[in-house]
Amino acid sequence: MSSSFSSSSSSSATNAGSAAKIPLTRQRVLTFVDSAGRERRLQQRANATVSTDASVPLINYNSVIYFAEIQINGSPFVVLVDTGSSDLWISCAYVSGVTCSAACPARSNVIRYGSGDVCIAGTTARVQIGDVAVDRYVVGVAQGRNVLPTSSTNLLPGGSQGLLGLAYDTIAVIPTPRGQFIDYLTSFSIFLTDDAFSDGSFLLLNAVDDALIARNKLKGYTIPLKEQAHWTIGMTAFQVGSDTPVFPCSQESDGATRGCRSIVDTGTSLLTMPNALFSAFAGTHLTPLGCFIPSGSTASSGGSNSSSASTLYVCPTQARLPRLSFTFGNY
């Protein structure tokens, strides 16, 4: 394949000794902790060097999706930041030397997102995000109708050119032999501002912004991962308005762990829940407000490799929907 993603002659990994603050553009603080993978990541970071530009501005697209500018072989690309998948890919429309096809090429790999499929063929390149750079990283060149800018089914809104997955290699369609991008980090944190298209959000690599947390009178919590695939944590309780909290997954079938498996996913604006829980919620709180299910309103949801579907309710504009509260871990 001839493209602008020519392989680097170096096989070393690059990483900063200090934190890299990448401004995003929406207000929550989430800190992901993975003690099990820390040793391997420290080994990956041993081959690190530092770039001169640690801050990369990001874009808040309508408070739904967040973009970052990254460098691939020295060229800038704007990508969705997605903690719900693990692959990095760029649409064929933005890769020089590549001809786009509306159909999947014969030897491509298919990534199945909730909003549609993407066909990718992998190549290697030097990838840099903030002050963290990795040589010989696998980058997918994406083909198919869902990545063409002129297509009505294009999955890339707002001028974005591709997608950066920040989950584990266990769900990567084309894993990078030297490790996924998170293997070169000790941690990362995300701050999201409230207003659509606003400035101030950021992705912070290898650190947590304690000053920002204190300034906004927030409190940080550590919630253990339930598995190294998606960023999966346990939801122990769910509450609607002032109703009595319910505990839908108080004990799993193995009797060893508690809490529904919940995915923290920056790549979707949907909130999904177990069918039985949602049916009870809809019957008690949506239908009485005049909310209804339009004909043919079932839509897919979820991150990479998801085949789940959700039922869409349409509510009157004057409907006052209740506040939803969730308890993760013991918080």
Dump pLDDT digits (tens) for 166-178. Answer: 999 999 999 888 8
Asked if the model's pLDDT at residue 7 lies above 90, the reply is: no
- Its sign, for the CA torsion 256, 189, 185, 165, is positive
Question: Residue 248 contacts by C-beta under 8 Å, 6 or more apart in sequence?
Answer: 235, 238, 260, 273, 274, 276, 277
Q: Determine which of 36-40, 116-120, 239-243, 263-267 has the lowest per-residue pLDDT on average.
A: 36-40
Q: Tell me, what's the pLDDT at 100?
A: 96
The reply to whether 221-297+311-328 shares the fold of 31-211 is yes
Res 43: pLDDT: 43
Q: What is the pTM of this model?
A: 0.78
Percent of the chain with pLDDT over 90: 40
The pLDDT of residue 331 is 65
Predicted local distance difference test score (pLDDT) of residue 82: 93
Q: What average pLDDT does range 20-30 have in this prediction?
A: 39
Alpha-carbon 105 to chain mean position = 26
**251 — pLDDT class (breaks 50, 70, 90):** low
Task: Give the start-to-end residue ranges of the domains of the chain.
Answer: 31-211, 221-297+311-328
CB-CB contact of 170 with 304 (8 Å): no
- Model confidence at 68: pLDDT above 70: yes
Residue 135, both tokens: 């040589």
Residue 38 banded pLDDT, cuts 50, 70, 90: very low
Mean pLDDT over 180-194 rounds to 85
Confidence band of 250 (pLDDT split at 50, 70, 90): low
Percent of the chain having pLDDT more than 70?
75
The CATH class of the 31-211 domain is mainly beta
Better pLDDT: 220 or 74: 74
The pLDDT, as a whole number, for residue 12 is 43
Residue 23: the pLDDT is 44
Q: Which of 6-20, 260-274, 291-305 has the lowest mean pLDDT?
A: 6-20
Q: Is the pLDDT of residue 151 over 50?
A: yes
Q: Token pair 């967040």 is at which residue?
A: 66
Return the CATH superfamily for domain 221-297+311-328.
Acid Proteases (2.40.70.10)
| Residue 278: per-residue pLDDT | 85
Residue 40 has pLDDT above 50, yes or no: no
